[in-house]
Amino acid sequence: MAESTSHIKPIVDKFGRIHNYLRISLTERCNLRCFYCMPEEGVALREKSVFMSSEEIIAIAKEFVELGIKKIRLTGGEPLVKKDAAYIIEELGKLPIELAITTNAVNVDKFIDVLKCAQVKSINVSLDSLVADRFNAISRRSYFDRIMSNINLLLENDFEVKVNVVLIKGTNDDEIIDFINWTKKTKINIRFIEFMPFDGNKWEWEKKVSFKELLDKVDEHYGADGFHKIQDAKNDTSRNYQLKNGQGTFGIISSVTNPFCDTCNRIRLTADGKIKNCLFSESESDLLTAYRNNESIEPIIRNSILAKHPERGGNVAFENLTEKAIKNRSMITIGG
């Protein structure tokens, strides 16, 4: 796997976007129940055989790497509740890729050595409030103190930590400045994510906080000289900023009101082995069945990406959409 990949034909869609970033959902299970991710009634439990085994995850990931994937991010559900999560992380860490993970950090203290061994440097942590009672209400669990302790543990161990905050008007939008103030003396990246429509999450236009609204609030509080735009990384989903003399940074991911589709390089693989070429796509391609039938998965991968819409899964007219009109999975069954 360490051989040169210069001869590889990249995975490209019909708009010329090269796809070299794979997000793998390890499981649909989670130890939190955040309402924007999991429907109130939960998700239907399915047979174990429906999902990729640890061995299948590793083998399929290797095939993606052979097609030019340069970065893999593990998601869920909560990836660290997956049986054999440590084994999967260790094995993927041997591949010639950048390996990253998105977690709620509830169990991250048990995986510090594994993450270091696999050379995982970037860790995204989901945290939607800095107020314990509010966070526990959003997540329908009581792990706030444990999560904050584990975020500090990650920082102490020199991991690059990004904190993902799903902003919902009337729920946590009054904490925008509190989150940004965290970056004054802490080398942390806060990323505000627009509330997005998925099955069962009671999304409404009125609950969104747009890119402009958020930036106006920041400008009002800090003034034009109190923060500045910084260079975004190639293919970055967020527009990034920094406070004057701040140690950390903050960014805005505006998938709904100000999308970044023109530079998208992402492929999503669900825990049950389906490719989603866009987070908002209604269509999926079954990779796992083909793999189990010893068929080549390369044509499925390439055809899925070729069928990708220019933006937002073809749901361009978002202003006319409601949560019920979105024919998509719940977020927990897609992967972050």
Indicate if the pLDDT at residue 87 is higher than 70.
yes
> Which residue's entry shows tokens 């999450």?
201
Q: pLDDT tens digits, residue range 218-229?
A: 999 999 999 999
Q: pLDDT tens digits, residue range 228-254?
A: 999 998 888 889 999 999 999 999 987
> Which residue's entry shows tokens 């009002």?
220
Indicate if the pLDDT at residue 74 is higher than 60.
yes
Distance in angstroms (rounded) separating the CA atoms of residues 103 and 81: 10
Q: Where are the beta strands (DSSP E) in the chain?
A: 21-25, 71-75, 98-103, 122-126, 160-167, 189-194, 227-229, 239-243, 249-253, 266-269, 274-276, 285-286
Q: pLDDT tens digits, residue range 2-43?
A: 444 457 899 999 999 999 999 999 998 888 877 777 666 656
pLDDT at 2: 42
Q: At what angle do helices 144-156 and 132-139 cross, to 10 degrees?
A: 100
pTM: 0.89
Q: pLDDT tens digits, residue range 249-296?
A: 999 987 666 666 788 899 999 999 999 988 777 789 999 999 999 999
- Whether the CB-CB separation of 334 and 76 falls below 8 Å is answered with no
Triad 145, 159, 78: Cα angle to 5°: 55
What domains can be seen in the chain, in order of their start residue? 21-333 (3.20.20.70)
Torsion of CA 160, 70, 196, 37, to 10 degrees: -70
Distance in angstroms (rounded) separating the CA atoms of residues 81 and 298: 29
